[in-house]
Amino acid sequence: MTGLDFSAEQVALAQRAYSTVTFQEGDAEALPFPHPERALSEANRVLCNGGKVAFTIWTPPDKDTGFGIILAAIETHGDMNVPLPPGPSFFQFSDPETSRQALLDAGFTAPHIEEIPQVWRLTSPNMVFQAVWEGAVRSRALLAAMRKSHV
């Protein structure tokens, strides 16, 4: 069993929590353009019989007040017209039925979708933005592009 995440911080956290599992930093697609459906199909192809895949998605801002506040602040005080690499919608799989259908289309036979509450325990207000910077690829790219456009 191997866990994969783009975030070195998340890999380290997972390794500490599950020491018997191998985790590594990497891109689930390794393609020049993101295609999450391909990543799911590839996961289905390489899994052993009975193997499982798990992934997390962000709840849309209308259902997650804290994240909604962060995104609204970025939209209000940042320049949203900065160049970003092509990619899927941040909330592409936020709808459980969309996730279920993507898993079925990738060849999985009995997908289980479960919403798990996320609680952020932060030691300071600045940790909110650090968490977004370190934990969300598209948000980090957006914020980095905004920083460059204002230099």
pLDDT in tens, 69-117: 888 888 898 888 888 777 777 788 999 999 999 999 999 999 999 988 8
pTM of the model: 0.67
Q: Which residue has the tokens 């956290």?
A: 13
111-150 b/e (C-beta count within 10 Å ≥ 16 → b)? eeeeeeeeeeeeeeeeebeeebeebbeebeebbebbeeee
- pLDDT at residue 84, rounded to an integer: 75
- pLDDT at residue 111, rounded to an integer: 95
Query: Measured between alpha carbons, how far is 95 from 37 in angstroms, rounded to an integer?
Result: 15
Q: Which of 98-112, 115-129, 133-147 has the highest mean pLDDT?
A: 98-112
Determine contact, residues 49/31, Cβ cutoff 8 Å: no
Residue whose C-alpha is closest to residue 8's, from 138, 141, 133, 151 = 133
